[in-house]
């Protein structure tokens, strides 16, 4: 079976022409798949019946299945998606009240190699990279299931996007062209693979960058994030400055507040020192428990003090809303478990 989600618009034209059909049929198919989120060929009402029948015999739109779907009290939906080989990873739909934004949080790998000590994905180890079309398929799955059009994509699901650079980059181009999502509405989040951050700046389409900093003390960061041993805070900062200079954009620094470890006033001071000459916003993420809990949630009071200290240093700070925690869809809770 041909999997149509694999094809770019040009490739779809080739495919259609090979079947002896006119080129404009590809445009119709394309619009049904990407804009109208058709889940099957029967709904494609302006495509003549015999061509639809032919398509049904030889092609599918997606080769993925929704293995499990959970809806949170706050409206967040978590999908466990099964890929053609039986591997699974999550995709999360987040809606924010009062905003027309519908964000898809996609996975770039099944599992992860980075080994961050506080993250549930790391605990399951690495399985494989996701293909470009498997990343696209996650967004199409949400659109088909809900009938809604995704407006923002964040690479914050399972995996380290810059460790699957090529496929992720191709996916970004297709999200931009095929799904018509502006490049500013596409964000990748990385644990800080410094040379790859620089490489990203050479591309024509440069996504918004979020970095999982989580700690501005190198020794403590080493304990919780093995990546610090390869690319330390200094390397990371150099790459972030490069990104800001090259793109004129700001980076978002994600910072997990872990009770009594990263949420202290001393740590806030280190963070202020680290970011004083960086064009950035800070996104504080209260630690989400992942079961085997060596770490604890921050106290509300400590979160507020931490936020205040950063704001006093002139930075824009947001505290990330905990979304979908009741269905284990919050940050760091994605482990592909069934
Ligand atoms: N590998 C990328 C993409 C994952 S994004 C990255 O590291 O950025 C998922 C975000 O959730 C990251 O910022 C990650 O550090 C954070 N996270 C992981 N475990 C968490 C936990 N238990 N509580 C809160 N946030 C967590």
Write out pLDDT tens, residues 259-303: 999 999 999 999 999 999 999 999 999 999 888 779 999 999 999
**Chain centroid to CA 131: how far?**
14
Selection from 105, 84, 72, 79 nearest residue 6 by Cα:
84
pLDDT band at 330 (very low <50, low <70, confident <90, very high): confident
Q: Which member of 88, 119, 215, 331 is catalytic?
A: 331
240-251, pLDDT tens digit by residue?
999 999 999 999
Residue 159 CA to residue 87 CA, distance in Å, equals 13
- Contacts of 17-24 with C-beta under 8 Å, sequence gap 24+, read 19/51, 19/54, 21/51
* Residue 284 DSSP label: E
Nearest-CA residue for atom 26 of ligand 1: 332
Residue 226: Cβ-neighbour burial (10 angstroms; 0-12, 13-18, 19+): middle
pLDDT band at 99 (very low <50, low <70, confident <90, very high): low
Residues facing 286 on adjacent strands = 257
CB 77 within 8 A of CB 63: no
Percent of the chain with pLDDT over 70: 99
Predicted confidence (pLDDT) at residue 338 exceeds the cutoff of 70 = no
The residues lining ligand 1, judged by C-beta closer than 6 Å to any ligand atom, are 114, 116, 118-119, 156, 160, 189-191, 212, 254, 256, 285, 287-288, 290, 331-332
Whether the pTM exceeds 0.85: the reply is yes
Q: Does residue 331 carry a catalytic annotation? A: yes
Q: Give residue 159 CA to ligand 1 midpoint distance, Å.
A: 9
Q: Give residue 111 CA to ligand 1 midpoint distance, Å.
A: 13
User: Helix or strand or coil: residue 338?
Assistant: coil
Predicted confidence (pLDDT) at residue 10 exceeds the cutoff of 80 = yes
Nearest-CA residue for atom 14 of ligand 1: 332
Q: Give residue 331 CA to ligand 1 midpoint distance, Å.
A: 5
Predicted confidence (pLDDT) at residue 179 exceeds the cutoff of 80 = yes
Q: Give residue 68 CA to ligand 1 midpoint distance, Å.
A: 22
Residue 326 CA to residue 322 CA, distance in Å, equals 10
41-80, pLDDT tens digit by residue?
999 999 999 999 999 999 999 999 999 999 998 889 999 9
Q: Give residue 57 CA to ligand 1 midpoint distance, Å.
A: 42
Pocket perturbation via mutation, ligand 1, pick of 118, 187, 281, 321 by most ligand atoms within 8 A of CB: 118
Nearest-CA residue for atom 10 of ligand 1: 331
Nearest-CA residue for atom 7 of ligand 1: 191
Q: Does residue 322 carry a catalytic annotation? A: no
Residue 306 CA to residue 310 CA, distance in Å, equals 6
Res 333: pLDDT:
76
Q: Which member of 13, 90, 134, 254 is catalytic?
A: 90
Predicted confidence (pLDDT) at residue 98 exceeds the cutoff of 70 = no
pLDDT band at 172 (very low <50, low <70, confident <90, very high): very high
Q: How many Cβ atoms from other residues are within 10 Å of residue 93's Cβ? A: 26
Query: Can you tell me which atom of ligand 1 is nearest the CA of 112?
Result: 1
Percent of the chain with pLDDT over 90: 88
Query: Can you tell me which atom of ligand 1 is nearest the CA of 155?
Result: 3
Predicted confidence (pLDDT) at residue 26 exceeds the cutoff of 70 = yes
User: Helix or strand or coil: residue 224?
Assistant: helix
């Amino acid at each position: 079976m041909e999997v149509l989600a694999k094809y770019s618009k040009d490739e779809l034209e080739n495919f259609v022409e090979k079947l002896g059909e006119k080129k404009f049929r590809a445009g119709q198919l394309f619009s049904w798949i990407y804009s109208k989120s058709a889940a099957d060929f029967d709904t494609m009402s302006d495509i003549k019946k015999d061509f639809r029948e032919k398509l049904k015999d030889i092609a599918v739109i997606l080769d993925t299945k929704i293995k499990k779907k959970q809806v949170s009290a706050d409206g967040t939906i978590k999908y466990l998606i099964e890929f053609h080989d039986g591997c699974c990873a999550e995709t999360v739909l987040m809606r924010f009240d009062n905003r027309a934004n519908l964000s898809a949080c996609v996975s770039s790998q099944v599992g992860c190699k980075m080994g961050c000590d506080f993250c549930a994905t790391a605990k399951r180890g690495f399985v494989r990279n996701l293909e470009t079309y498997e990343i696209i398929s996650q967004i199409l799955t949400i659109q088909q299931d809900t009938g809604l059009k995704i407006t923002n994509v964040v690479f914050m699901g399972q995996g380290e996007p810059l460790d699957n650079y090529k496929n992720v980059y191709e996916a970004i181009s297709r999200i931009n062209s095929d799904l018509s999502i502006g490049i500013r509405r596409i964000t990748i989040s990385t644990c800080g693979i410094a040379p790859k951050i620089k490489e990203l700046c050479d591309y024509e389409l440069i996504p918004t960058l979020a970095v999982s900093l989580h700690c501005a003390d190198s020794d403590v960061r080493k304990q919780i994030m093995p990546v610090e041993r390869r690319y330390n805070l200094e390397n990371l900062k150099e790459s972030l400055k490069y990104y800001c200079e090259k793109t004129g954009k700001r980076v978002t620094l994600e910072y997990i507040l872990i009770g009594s470890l990263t949420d202290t006033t001393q740590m806030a001071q280190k963070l202020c020192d680290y970011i004083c000459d960086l064009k950035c916003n800070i996104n504080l993420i209260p630690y989400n428990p992942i079961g085997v809990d060596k770490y604890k949630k921050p106290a509300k009071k400590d979160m507020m003090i931490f936020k205040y200290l950063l704001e006093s240093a002139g930075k824009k700070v947001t505290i990330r809303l905990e979304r979908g925690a009741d269905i284990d869809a919050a940050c760091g809770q994605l482990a592909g478990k069934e």
